[in-house]
Amino acid sequence: MTLFPSSSSLFLVFFLALLAGTSSSGHLLSENFYCRKCPQVFSAVKSVVEDAVAKEPRLGASILRLFFHDCFIDGCDGSLLLDDTSTFKGEKTAAANNNSVRGFEVIDAIKSKVEALCPGVVSCADILAIASRDAVVILGGPFWDVKLGRRDSRTANFTAANTGVIPAPTSNLSTLISNFKSHGLDVKDLVALSGSHTIGKARCTSFRGHIYNDTDIDPSFAKLRQKNCPRQNGTGDNNLAPLDLQTPTHFENNYYKNLINKKGLLHSDQELFNGGSTDSLVKAYSQNNKAFASDFVTGMIKMGNILPLTGSKGEIRKNCRRVN
């Protein structure tokens, strides 16, 4: 009998906790967490997300991306939502997020509406989880029951958000696989969750290298994107292009069809179909939207279970932008 568990044992415990939706404090997330405390939370979140996406469909993808970027830094704890102050450094200005993540005003509006109904009950972390699901559904994607009971962090981790914990759009396949594995997510989760790029847009600075320097790209598609994304850094950096060439405001499996045709916008997208171990999954999802939707839901639930704060840990913020 050993006093300390091995690193592999620790990973197994961490991974099993993710699957079960268990936090480090032992409390389970539950689909029924607010049934008695705040049953109106779902209709309140949905109404705000519906209004926001109706006005700007891109916001659906933006909200979903907020959830990804929050969960990948120390778990799904709402830390990404915190603003900088004179004495506090948040994650919003980190390299992976600066001038990139958006949709915070939608979360603010949801929080205000929910607080009016159930003061001090629903966390910002849970609001973000529900809003992400609703954004997917509103844009034509699958529904799932969101596990809830997360609490909000009182801290943020700028360093982690600034040093590659969130995969960069220039990542190669091995980097993507190892990054997701470090968060308890497997290769199937990687490929299925990358399908979120069936909606939304990316900035020129995120795909410039791919359309000018890579060879695993359809030449006509590269030329199309070059029209709005100059080669020179600092010129047109914030010009946008849809991540899904075909249906950028509808959630389905066209993203994978694009990859097979070498029309992935990001280098990291096309890495999923470039003669590597994930080619077969991309082919499968391109041919079967139901399989994609099912695996996407599984991946979202697993990702939502990454290290939630529960029990007495953290807090329920009154304002998602600052600690109480």
pLDDT at 207 over 90: yes
Please, are residues 79 and 320 in contact by the beta-carbon 8 Å criterion?
A: no
Query: Domain containing 286: what range?
Result: 171-302
Can you give the CATH number for the domain in which 285 is found? 1.10.420.10
Q: Where are the beta strands (DSSP E) in 137-262?
A: 201-203, 240-242
> What mean pLDDT value characterizes the chain?
93
In this prediction, residue 28 carries a pLDDT of: 85
Question: What value does the mean pLDDT take over residues 243-268?
Answer: 97
What percent of the chain clears pLDDT 70, i.e. is strictly above it?
Answer: 92
pLDDT at 144 over 50: yes
Instruction: Return the closest-CA partner of residue 260 out of 324, 308, 191.
Output: 191
Tell whether 185 and 149 lie within a shared domain.
Answer: no
pLDDT at 46 over 90: yes
Tell whether 203 and 150 lie within a shared domain.
Answer: no
- Split at pLDDT 50, 70, 90, the class of 1 is very low
pLDDT at 9 over 70: no
Residue owning tokens 């979360």: 107
Please, are residues 203 and 240 in contact by the beta-carbon 8 Å criterion?
A: yes
In this prediction, residue 230 carries a pLDDT of: 97
Tell whether 179 and 284 lie within a shared domain.
Answer: yes
Domain contains 21 = no
Domain contains 307 = no
Total number of domains in the chain: 2
- Split at pLDDT 50, 70, 90, the class of 12 is very low
In this prediction, residue 20 carries a pLDDT of: 45
Tell whether 190 and 152 lie within a shared domain.
Answer: no
Instruction: Return the closest-CA partner of residue 158 out of 250, 84, 244.
Output: 84
- Split at pLDDT 50, 70, 90, the class of 164 is confident
213-217, long-range: CB within 8 Å, 24+ apart, which pairs?
214/267, 214/270, 216/262, 216/270, 216/274, 217/262, 217/263, 217/264, 217/270
pLDDT at 11 over 70: no
Residue 165 — φ and ψ, nearest 5°? -65, -35
Question: What value does the mean pLDDT take over residues 187-212?
Answer: 98
Question: What value does the mean pLDDT take over residues 298-324?
Answer: 97
Tell whether 213 and 291 lie within a shared domain.
Answer: yes
Residues in the chain: 324
Catalytic positions are 69
Please, are residues 207 and 225 in contact by the beta-carbon 8 Å criterion?
A: yes
Instruction: Return the closest-CA partner of residue 189 out of 177, 175, 202, 172.
Output: 177
Domain contains 20 = no
* pLDDT digits 0-9 by tens, 93-128: 999 999 899 999 999 999 999 999 999 999 999 999
- In a 3-state reduction of DSSP, which class is residue 89? coil
Residue 90 — φ and ψ, nearest 5°? -85, -165
In this prediction, residue 27 carries a pLDDT of: 61
As annotated, the binding site for Ca(2+) includes 70, 75, 77, 79, 91, 198, 244, 247
CA dihedral 53, 240, 201, 307 (to 10 degrees): -100
Please, are residues 37 and 121 in contact by the beta-carbon 8 Å criterion?
A: yes
Please, are residues 268 and 171 in contact by the beta-carbon 8 Å criterion?
A: yes
Please, are residues 142 and 136 in contact by the beta-carbon 8 Å criterion?
A: yes
As annotated, the binding site includes 70, 75, 77, 79, 91, 167, 197-198, 244, 247
pLDDT at 165 over 70: yes
